[in-house]
Structure 1
Amino acid sequence: EDESEEEPKLKYERLSNGVTEILQKDAASCMTVHEKFLALGTHYGKVYLLDVQGNITQKFDVSPVKINQISLDESGEHMGVCSEDGKVQVFGLYSAEEFHEMFDCPIKIVAVHPHFVRSHFKQFVTGGKKLLLYERGWMNRWKPSVLHEGEGNIRNVKWRGHLIAWANNMGVKILDMISKQRITNVPRDDISLRPDMYPCSLCWKDNLTLIIGWGNSVKICSVKERHASEMRDLPNRYVEIVFQFDTEFYISGLAPLCDQLVILSYVKEISEKTEVECCARPRLDIVQPLPESCEEISSDALTVRGFQENECRDYHLEYSEGESLFYIISPRDVVVAKERDQDDHIDWLLEKKKYEEALMAAEISQKTIKKHKILDIGLAYINHLVEKGEYDLAARKCQKILGKNTELWEFEVYKFKEIGQLKAISRYLPRRDPVLKPLIYEMVLHEFLESDYEGFATLIKEWPGDLYNNTIIVQAVVDHLKKDPQNRTLLQTLAELYTYDQRYGRALEIYLTLRHKDVFQLIHKHNLFSSIRDKIVLLMDFDSEKAVDMLLDNEDKISIDRVVEELENRPELQHVYLHKLFKRDHHKGQRYHEKQISLYAEYDRPNLLPFLRDSTHCPLEKALEICQQRNFVEETVYLLSRMGNSRSALKMIMEELQDVDKAIEFAKEQDDGELWEDLILYSIDKPPFITGLLNNIGTHVDPILLIHRIKEGMEIPNLRDSLVKILQDYNLQILLREGCKKILVADSLSLLKKMHRTQMKGVLVDEENICESCLSPILPSDASKSFNVVVFHCRHMFHKECLLVSNTV
């Protein structure tokens, strides 16, 4: 993606109000940042306290010359100031506590203890030619001690926790205030650069991480504890450089941003006009440190006032840890850089016309954004799509963006109407919750009716009928049908409109005219059977199968007689109806069975014979007459047989059909000896018939009767095979009889044995049994007496003497 399309990481604004007023008459020399306020030092020796909007809250006249550095403790209650005339001043902003000191050389730096507000941390350091530590002792007297000297002027100092880092002409040192030991010396890389023109930038990321920027070199140092076994005479802490890389330009300041760095760079470039090196706009870069290099995340050139006259030492970078605010200080300008929030992100997306992404970002962050509203972004998106001519996409987005806001929906519809794109939005108009004014839907329907009949028909199918005034739309369709009365699309749509309006009769007429598939559904759904009594022929012409099923399923609403009467002039349709009626129930239409004979004969002969067989109400004489007139042999044969004239039927089979197999089959069905005799007599002089008889009559007639009648010398096709088959059939019959005999004997013997076993079983006789003759208990009361009892297999019991006396056997 092109760089111009990359979103910046920071946003910028000038610190105005009181700052503007100050810098019109003076120039900024330094600044320090507290979470509650700002402290700005100037070239005319003034120190201003400012709120975060740049308004002046306090002013201190410290010196007539340039303020070199301002230091604040963490509480923001004590300030240290040093100036070019050697003056150092430490005082309480909200107390009378104050310290003054004058040196005979410029003091470049001052740093108060981060916890200066506490009584046992009353310490600060100053730097000129020496690094001095001031501590308040007995009687509130300040005692100075030299921490370092002999390596040129002290250029910068930063105090964090128990560690003090400072820079002089030779490099950067760190002092552990607990052990009062210097724990490292980080030498300056490029000694060719004047330290006063290209000063060192120091920044504590946390209590143990120091960031050093000098010239074009960046080092990130980590303070670590030394293992006890390694100490000997060494400090208990040491410093390890964990990241080190060079930048393209000279560093004027740096600050941490999470795990990244913000670097303020001083830039020089060759003028295109004079071809002389000149000062360019400073850059603020965000980089991701790597072990031996860095990755540039973003880079912005800043248009600060007077950048053409500024040097590297004129720029400073301060930051507010809690809020990720970065202050770029130059003599004539103070610029604040902030991390961009979601509102800024959305602003950038809208500026780049990335409305889809902007809408998505707003939806995700709707609880945090303050400047933007999802609806406003959505409306802008719709307008953008309309301007681009993407009407369908714009209409589709209306569903999501406009939601249930009926006023906005109606506004957008009118807007689409103005540009002639009502069709585009029609598919996405709300149909339920919310519902727009009927006029809106009618306006869309009229648009389609004027130019797109198919689209109009689709909307009528898809839209509920209560969205618009049905009467108005019906009249509009009727008016168009006057110009094009045969238009099927309009006619079908009009039928649907009549259905919505519950004018089912009119809808039915149109559906029948069009032969529309939904006509049967319409009749069933709205019970329109009274309306179709005179339209049965139309229904049958359209789909006879569905029509017949419907009529038969609703006999209670349209009687069989009414249907037959309506179909009187269309016998082919009458037959279809009566045939299906007969298949459903052989008796319901019995009064029309005589009529059906002619109908079957005319339109459906294959089903005539099954009808004659299944019908018990068919007049046989009438049927025979019709079949004989039409020379329907099979049907005539069946009728003759059914009427008892089997011999005539057999004769017709043999003479008309010349089909010996059918004749034999018919004789088998009738099982009449006389018919077999007639069949043999008829076949005796016809060799093919004789062959057929020899092959098939063995199971019904003795073949000898036929063989004896065959004339000597007659040639009979396949006679040998037929005789062999007769013998085989005879042998098979013998075998079957013998097998059956064996089975019968075996079964009889098995049953006899079973009966014998059953009869040999004992029969229980107890005191409850009685004699069937005398009705006395079967067993005597005195068991010692002898007695005789007769028990039959049927479980009847008798005393023997009762049986003999009564002669019951």
Structure 2
Amino acid sequence: MSHEPILKYERLGGYLPTLLKEDAISCLAVHINYICVGTYNGNVILLHLDGTFIQRLHHHSKKVNDLHIDETGQHIASCSDDGTVAIYTLFSSFSTASSQSSSKSSNIGEINIYNYYNAIYCVRFQEKYSFRRERIFACGGLTGQFSINRKGWILDKELTIHEGEGPIQCIQWKHNLVAWANDWGVKVYNVDQEQPITFVERPQLCPPLELSRCQLIWLSDHQLIVAWAHTIKIVSLDLTQSHSEANSGAKSSTDNLQRKFSGAFGSKSVGKVTAVISLNYFIAGISAWNEEFLCVLGYRPPREKQSDALETDYPLPEMHIIGIDGMSISSVRLPLRGHVRLRASDYKMSSLRYTISTSNKRNCQWQFDHSDDTQQEERIASAYEAALGCVTYLCTPKDVILCRVRGIKDRVQWALDRQHFRKAVYVALEDPNALKDFAYSYANVLELYLSALITQEKFQEAADEINRLFNGKEFNALWEKYVYIFAQRNQLSAIAKYVPTLTNERLPNAQYEMILRHFLENDPEKLVQVLRKWPKPKYERVKEENDSESPYFQEREEPLYDAFRWIRELEAVVRQRRILEVDTDAISMETACILEPLAELYSSTGQYDQALRIYLTQGTLCFSKEHVFKLISEHQLWALVDTKVANLVQLDTSLAVKLFVTQLEHFPIVQTAKQLEPQEKILLEYLHQLWMEQSSVYNCERYTQIHDMQVALYVKYAPDSLLTFLRGNFFISLEKVYRLCDTHVPPLWEAMICLLSRMGQERKALELILTQLQDLQQAIQFSQKDARLWDYLIELSLSSSEMMQFLLEAAAKHHVDPILLLTKIPVDMELDHLKQTLIEILATYKLQLDLCCHCLKSFQVDRMELMRKQVRCYGQRWDHRSRSLHGNRLYKRSFACTNAATASTGRVWRSISKCGSLEPCNKRSGAFFVINFQCQSEPKSKLQNLIFSLNFISFGTADALTD
């Protein structure tokens, strides 16, 4: 499968056909506003971008070899075989010419002509030439001299940078760096620092200048592309190294520069060839779109035909788009005029880049083909985005070709020619207005695409595309057309869900009626889905005069369909089907499929009672169970369902139970439980959810009878959930429940143990744990809080050495005194690993004591530090308006009291100083000290005394543990 080309090629017209009759083109330069063409007769001709004539400049007597236009378009440089370089100033007033150049007056401004007496092959302005105080251009030619001319306000300075290595073929500037090519290779020079940068050697087996020229392009500030013969080299420059060398040494003079330059490039090179791309054709021209993609004009030399050695085959020039890695993306052969007589050096390429807006970029997204080579498609898409805003002019002596990105029309035409209708649609969708003057409008392209899908019977895909592409009121006619087309193919089910229903995009009512008719006859189950998706008919109730009991509906807005007519029709269909059914008590599936859309129509017209009646009648055959409960809640239909608990449960048990539990004011517990008694499992589920979610309301003496019923249901259907209920309920009969659990097969021992514990029969409960559950761990947890139960547990365990061993291991972990256990062990009982068990018990007990002591000591330190801070704070506040000496005295007394209090523990303090007294006050296990400071302050002082209370924990226990 061939990929879509990126570029389109147009032959430039206008004045060019007239020019080519009497002359031939030798070079070309482009600007965003005009084109500049050089000819073999020495003319420089200015043209509009479409080729129309502007101005002819004739200041050379021989062939014009090169042209260059500065960024502003106000200056043009041309060079010729006659050895002259002409600098034209456009649209500016006459300025004084330099003494080294001859000045001629022209209607386009100042023209400066520089004579070098030998053929000049190339000339280039330095970047931002118009904005510089010292304007610089570089040129070179046949003699091999590379010269830089500096044009100042008064004088022009000319400096020969290099010579003696063959003719200069190409020059390119980048800021203060200039690169040029001669027979030896490519050199880069820093004009500001006056020092060489790097040297790139000429490829081997390279043809002479007459056959193939070197092409130079600056890819970025530090990357240079050197395209020569069949090789592309990418050179990276390390400008930081160049700057450091320039700053370390002093500036050399011009004479020294000439001697230094001849051997400098090998030793002072700061450039590195990072990539080399080898091609199987000669490079006649090159343009860089960005740092990833290149546009290359390829030239293949003539070759003899294999069939006839006397005839020669002249291949057409080729335009290649390649990646920076050398991978080919696309290639096109160009039928240029007179290509059989041309060499690679006769082709010239000049590129122009202009900025495009973000919106235009969004309108130029690449649409992928449905091909297996997705990677290549992605590369083509990236290259297409890189080419946006880039225009390339290709010229030969008798032809000028404009190369630019293919527009919407071109891409749509290409896709239609190959019947890629989907791609044509999505390309046109980027900018439908671009097809105004095209053979096909956007609507025509859409119809071609949809017709192809329908012909292939891809109805669902066609419906999806219609929904995606038909946006807006202007597509109503197409909507109407394709709804009829789908109806003719009996495929309305595919497009029905997409039909527009907004007020400003509505179709004729007949089409909506047609869709409903289709579903009623072919797919009744989906009829209700369509009715719910479409907007409800908006009606309002209006009461007749003198008849408040018979309201009727008045239409508020024109609906999509006549709801009342459809209600009558569906009622007739239901009656007809019920007559044909054998079992009149049961509803068939076919009838249920009609009843549900009928209920939906009742709801849409406000007849909610009729709709709910149908839903409850359907029972399990109802397809919209959640919709029923939502209808009840939204429209407050509680009065219609409070006695229909069984019907709601039949619809959906979980939703019904949830409704009963959350709406207790509408579904009282006693009445709801009574209606659910015949269905015991559902009743248990209801009561269980009631207990879990509404226990604050349900757990009361009022519902004791229901609690007993719930216990019986737990025992019968869910014994595992009984224990949770017993632990939280306080209104059940414990003896009755115990008998119920005891008679169950097997007995519910966990519940019985819980009940015995609540009845105060802990010993019997403990016996059940040991005998029936045989869970000693549970027995320990059950009895550890009661010393009498623990003694009873030890008595029950004396008969088994395994139980005593387990009790010893668990004693330390459950804070039980191991001495009590050891003293009761019979003398003749043998215990395994008794010594090791005792060591572990003692080690664990000692660890607990150590942790307790260290915690108490840490608490003492923190307490003392906090007390000091608090006393110091009170002392400073006390002395706010008093003398500082008095404040210091207060702090010292307070600190003395603190030291005295912590020096001794367990004593009764009487007095400690003249300034205060200490009185003990017992409070639980600690001592509460009240220190009363009687301060000798001034009479006017607001604070007369300070009562400071410190709550100390007694340290007698800690001391004992430490001892």
Give the TM-score normalised by structure 2. Answer: 0.46
Q: Aligned residue for 2:486?
A: 416
Correspondence for 1:306 among 317, 323, 338:
338
Q: Aligned residue for 1:328?
A: 394
Instruction: Name which of structure 1's ranges 338-347 and 160-169 shifts more when overlaid on structure 2.
Output: 338-347
2:43 maps to 1:39: no
Per-residue Cα deviation, 1:620-643 (whole angstroms, up to 9, x for no partner) = xxxxxxxxxxxxxxxxxxxxxxxx
The 3-state SS of whatever aligns with 1:190 is coil
Pair 1:243–1:497, CA change in 2 (3 A)? closer
Alpha-carbon shift at residue 264 of structure 1 (Å): 1.8
Q: Aligned residue for 1:107?
A: 120
Pair 1:395–1:344, CA change in 2 (3 A)? same
2:580 maps to 1:486: yes
Pair 1:419–1:204, CA change in 2 (3 A)? same
Alpha-carbon shift at residue 241 of structure 1 (Å): 2.4
CA distance in structure 2 between the aligned counterparts of 1:456 and 1:507, rounded to whole angstroms = 16
2:164 maps to 1:164: no
Correspondence for 2:225 among 189, 208, 211:
211
Q: Aligned residue for 1:173?
A: 187
Q: Aligned residue for 2:348?
A: 316
Per-residue Cα deviation, 1:143-189 (whole angstroms, up to 9, x for no partner) = 65544443333333334433333323333333443455555443322
Correspondence for 1:467 among 553, 560, 566:
560
Per-residue Cα deviation, 1:659-713 (whole angstroms, up to 9, x for no partner) = xxxxxxxxxxxxxxxxxxxxxxxxxxxxxxxxxxxxxxxxxxxxxxxxxxxxxxx
CA distance in structure 2 between the aligned counterparts of 1:113 and 1:9, rounded to whole angstroms = 33
Pair 1:286–1:511, CA change in 2 (3 A)? closer
Alpha-carbon shift at residue 394 of structure 1 (Å): 1.6
Correspondence for 2:74 among 65, 73, 77:
77
Alpha-carbon shift at residue 25 of structure 1 (Å): 4.8
2:215 maps to 1:201: yes
CA distance in structure 2 between the aligned counterparts of 1:111 and 1:432, rounded to whole angstroms = 64
Pair 1:272–1:527, CA change in 2 (3 A)? same
Pair 1:439–1:57, CA change in 2 (3 A)? same
Give 1:445's aligned amino acid: L
Q: Aligned residue for 2:499?
A: 429
Q: Aligned residue for 2:831?
A: none
Alpha-carbon shift at residue 247 of structure 1 (Å): 1.4
Structure showing greater Rg: 1
Alpha-carbon shift at residue 443 of structure 1 (Å): 1.9
Alpha-carbon shift at residue 328 of structure 1 (Å): 1.9
After TM superposition, the structure 1 = structure 2 runs for residues 291-302 of structure 1, keeping only pairs within 5 Å, are 294-302=326-334
Alpha-carbon shift at residue 216 of structure 1 (Å): 0.7
Pair 1:467–1:104, CA change in 2 (3 A)? closer
Pair 1:369–1:404, CA change in 2 (3 A)? closer
The 3-state SS of whatever aligns with 1:425 is helix
CA distance in structure 2 between the aligned counterparts of 1:518 and 1:204, rounded to whole angstroms = 75
CA distance in structure 2 between the aligned counterparts of 1:69 and 1:527, rounded to whole angstroms = 90
Pair 1:139–1:57, CA change in 2 (3 A)? closer
Pair 1:409–1:115, CA change in 2 (3 A)? closer
Per-residue Cα deviation, 1:597-654 (whole angstroms, up to 9, x for no partner) = xxxxxxxxxxxxxxxxxxxxxxxxxxxxxxxxxxxxxxxxxxxxxxxxxxxxxxxxxx
Q: Say what the alpha-carbon RMSD is for the aligned residues.
A: 5.4
Correspondence for 1:441 among 512, 516, 520:
512
CA distance in structure 1 between the aligned counterparts of 2:615 and 2:197, rounded to whole angstroms = 101
CA distance in structure 2 between the aligned counterparts of 1:144 and 1:527, rounded to whole angstroms = 98
Residues 314 and 330 in structure 1, CA contact (< 8 A), matched pair in contact too: yes
After TM superposition, the structure 1 = structure 2 runs for residues 346-745 of structure 1, keeping only pairs within 5 Å, are 381-403=449-471, 405=473, 406-430=476-500, 435-448=506-519, 467-470=560-563, 473=566, 486=580, 500=601
Alpha-carbon shift at residue 312 of structure 1 (Å): 0.8
Residues 190 and 215 in structure 1, CA contact (< 8 A), matched pair in contact too: no
2:239 maps to 1:222: no
Give the TM-score normalised by structure 1. Answer: 0.54
Pair 1:218–1:451, CA change in 2 (3 A)? closer
The 3-state SS of whatever aligns with 1:108 is strand
CA distance in structure 1 between the aligned counterparts of 2:531 and 2:124, rounded to whole angstroms = 82
> Number of aligned pairs?
539
The 3-state SS of whatever aligns with 2:485 is helix
Pair 1:75–1:470, CA change in 2 (3 A)? closer
Pair 1:132–1:403, CA change in 2 (3 A)? closer
Pair 1:173–1:383, CA change in 2 (3 A)? same
CA distance in structure 2 between the aligned counterparts of 1:106 and 1:527, rounded to whole angstroms = 100
Alpha-carbon shift at residue 442 of structure 1 (Å): 1.6
Pair 1:457–1:152, CA change in 2 (3 A)? closer
The 3-state SS of whatever aligns with 2:67 is strand
Residues 29 and 350 in structure 2, CA contact (< 8 A), matched pair in contact too: yes
Alpha-carbon shift at residue 60 of structure 1 (Å): 1.6
CA distance in structure 1 between the aligned counterparts of 2:141 and 2:676, rounded to whole angstroms = 122
The 3-state SS of whatever aligns with 1:467 is coil
Aligned residues with identical type, % of pairs: 26
The 3-state SS of whatever aligns with 2:134 is helix
Give 1:99's aligned amino acid: N
Give 1:171's aligned amino acid: G
Q: Aligned residue for 2:287?
A: 255
Gaps of 5+ in 2: 95-104, 250-259, 355-388, 538-558, 582-587, 638-643, 652-673, 679-963
The 3-state SS of whatever aligns with 1:189 is coil
Pair 1:102–1:446, CA change in 2 (3 A)? same
2:89 maps to 1:89: no
Residues 30 and 329 in structure 1, CA contact (< 8 A), matched pair in contact too: yes
Residues 219 and 245 in structure 1, CA contact (< 8 A), matched pair in contact too: yes
The 3-state SS of whatever aligns with 2:145 is strand
Q: Aligned residue for 2:273?
A: 241
CA distance in structure 1 between the aligned counterparts of 2:201 and 2:51, rounded to whole angstroms = 38
Give 2:284's aligned amino acid: S
CA distance in structure 2 between the aligned counterparts of 1:497 and 1:109, rounded to whole angstroms = 85
Per-residue Cα deviation, 1:123-151 (whole angstroms, up to 9, x for no partner) = 54242224253646799565655444433
Alpha-carbon shift at residue 317 of structure 1 (Å): 1.8
Pair 1:12–1:581, CA change in 2 (3 A)? closer
Q: Aligned residue for 1:665?
A: none
Per-residue Cα deviation, 1:313-359 (whole angstroms, up to 9, x for no partner) = 12112122454322222223322333568887777777766666777
Give 2:299's aligned amino acid: Y
Alpha-carbon shift at residue 469 of structure 1 (Å): 2.6
Pair 1:140–1:239, CA change in 2 (3 A)? same
CA distance in structure 1 between the aligned counterparts of 2:68 and 2:468, rounded to whole angstroms = 55
Per-residue Cα deviation, 1:543-579 (whole angstroms, up to 9, x for no partner) = 9x999xxxxxxxxxxxxxxxxxxxxxxxxxxxxxxxx
CA distance in structure 2 between the aligned counterparts of 1:510 and 1:158, rounded to whole angstroms = 87
CA distance in structure 2 between the aligned counterparts of 1:475 and 1:166, rounded to whole angstroms = 92
Alpha-carbon shift at residue 266 of structure 1 (Å): 0.9
Residues 216 and 246 in structure 1, CA contact (< 8 A), matched pair in contact too: yes
Per-residue Cα deviation, 1:516-565 (whole angstroms, up to 9, x for no partner) = 9679999x99999xxxxxxxxxx9xx99x999xxxxxxxxxxxxxxxxxx
CA distance in structure 2 between the aligned counterparts of 1:119 and 1:504, rounded to whole angstroms = 88
Correspondence for 1:282 among 298, 311, 317:
317
Alpha-carbon shift at residue 311 of structure 1 (Å): 1.8
Give 2:112's aligned amino acid: F
CA distance in structure 2 between the aligned counterparts of 1:162 and 1:505, rounded to whole angstroms = 88
CA distance in structure 1 between the aligned counterparts of 2:564 and 2:445, rounded to whole angstroms = 40
Alpha-carbon shift at residue 445 of structure 1 (Å): 3.4
